[in-house]
Amino acid sequence: MTDSVLAGLAQSIARASEWLLSQQSEKGYWWGDLTADTTLESDYILLQLWLYAPRGREWNPPARAQVDRAVASILARQSADGGFSIYPGGPSDLSASVKAYFALKVSGVDPAGDPMTRLRDCILTHGGLQACNSYVRINLSLFNLYPREHVPSVPPEMILMGRVLYHMSAWARAIVVPLAIVQSLSKGRPVPDGFTIDELFVPGVSKAFPCPDSWFSWKSFFLGVDKVCKLWERHGSRSIRASAIEKCKQWVLERTRYTDGLAAIYPPMMYTIMALDLLGCAPGDPDRDEAEQQFYNLMVDDGENFFFQPCFSVVWDTAIATHALAEAGTAPAESLSRAADWLVSKEVRKKGDWSIHRPAVEPSGWYFEFANEYYPDIDDTGMVMIALAFARGANTAAQEAAVGRGLDWLIAMQAADGGWAAFDVDNNWPVLRHVPFADHNAMLDPTCPDISGRVLEAMALHGVSTDHPAMKRGVEYLIGTQETDGSWYGRWGVDYIYGTYLAVRGLRAAGESELEVHILRASEWLRAIQNADGGWGESPESYTEGVYVNAVSTPSQTSWALLGLLASGDTRSESLDRAVEYLIRTQRPDGTWDEPQATGTGFPRVFYLNYHMYRNTFPLLALATFRKARAREN
Q: Which residues are known catalytic residues?
A: 379
Q: How far is CA 230 from CA 148, 154, 155, 239, in A?
A: 9, 10, 9, 17
- Geometric angle at alpha carbon 289, from 285 and 293, rounded to 5°: 175
- Nearby residues of 620 by Cβ (< 8 Å), 6 or more positions away: 13, 16, 17, 20, 324, 325, 327, 328
Cβ atoms of residues 595 and 615 within 8 Å:
yes
C-alpha torsion sign, points 365, 367, 368, 369: negative
User: Dmax over Cα atoms in the chain, in whole Å?
Assistant: 80
Residues across the chain: 634
Burial of 30 (0-12, 13-18, 19+ CB in 10 A): buried
CA distance 62 to 375: 34
User: In degrees rounded to 5, what are phi and psi of residue 611?
Assistant: -85, 115
CA distance 574 to 605: 34
- Nearby residues of 331 by Cβ (< 8 Å), 6 or more positions away: 17, 21, 325
Q: In 413-489, which residue ranges form alpha helices assigned H by DSSP? A: 449-461, 469-481
The alpha-carbon radius of gyration of the chain (Å, integer) is: 25
Cβ atoms of residues 419 and 447 within 8 Å:
yes
Q: In 126-164, which residue ranges form alpha helices assigned H by DSSP? A: 134-141
Residue 354 exposure: Cα atoms within 13 Å on the Cβ side: 32
Cβ atoms of residues 605 and 543 within 8 Å:
yes
Q: Is residue 251 within a helix (H) or strand (E), and if so which, with residue range?
A: helix 238-254
